[in-house]
Amino acid sequence: MPLCRSAALWLLIAGPSLCWAELPQLTLRLNAQPLHVEVVDTPEARQRGLMGRTALPASQGMLFVFSDLAQRCLWMKNTSLPLSAAFLDAQGRILNLVDLQPNDLQTHCSSAPARFALEVNQGWFARHAIQPGLKLEGLPEAKN
């Protein structure tokens, strides 16, 4: 089920024009755990991220895809969900993990150049024994 449908309150407030249901979706695997993600691969979609969401189902997340390797940073402006994020290199290996607090404007950055960032509910990585160095399977190709 798309993340947007699970956030019915968001749909009532923002209307369908702000629904993320049109975003591409993938099922990834990390340490044998399936994770259903929405893919954001444009500057506008990456900037919006999970802003305004009031819920994120347990085995779902958002994958930020970039066309090049660079240091990546995330913040939680207008995001009321406690999240954890993984920064990944071009091969999909986790560089580092960070916990993100709701509505926090502090930036949290990758420890090395990253091509992907993955946001999930806070604690998901810990519950599934996900650590730096593990490889995410099923990543898409980035747009140029």
Inside any domain, residue 142:
no
Domain enclosing residue 100, as ranges? 3-137
pLDDT at position 107 is 96
Inside any domain, residue 28:
yes
Inside any domain, residue 17:
yes
Q: Cα separation of 113 and 21, whole Å? A: 30
What is the mean predicted confidence (pLDDT) over 108-131? 97
Percent of the chain with pLDDT over 70: 83
pTM of the full structure: 0.84
8 Å CB contact between 117 and 108:
no
Give the CATH number for residue 11.
Answer: 2.60.120.1140
Say what the alpha-carbon torsion angle 73, 22, 8, 82 is, to the nearest 10 degrees.
-10
What is the mean predicted confidence (pLDDT) over 20-30? 84
What is the mean predicted confidence (pLDDT) over 57-86? 96
Q: What is the mean pLDDT of the chain?
A: 86
pLDDT of residue 77 exceeding 80: yes
Inside any domain, residue 129:
yes
Question: For residue 141, what pLDDT band results from cuts at 50, 70 and 90?
Answer: confident
pLDDT of residue 127 exceeding 80: yes
Inside any domain, residue 60:
yes
- Using a 10 angstrom Cβ sphere, with 0-12 exposed, 13-18 middle and 19 or more buried, the burial of residue 38 is buried
Inside any domain, residue 54:
yes
Inside any domain, residue 126:
yes
pLDDT of residue 2 exceeding 60: no
As for how many domains the chain has, the answer is: 1
Percent of the chain with pLDDT over 90: 79
Inside any domain, residue 40:
yes
pLDDT at position 21 is 56
Q: Cα separation of 79 and 1, whole Å? A: 21
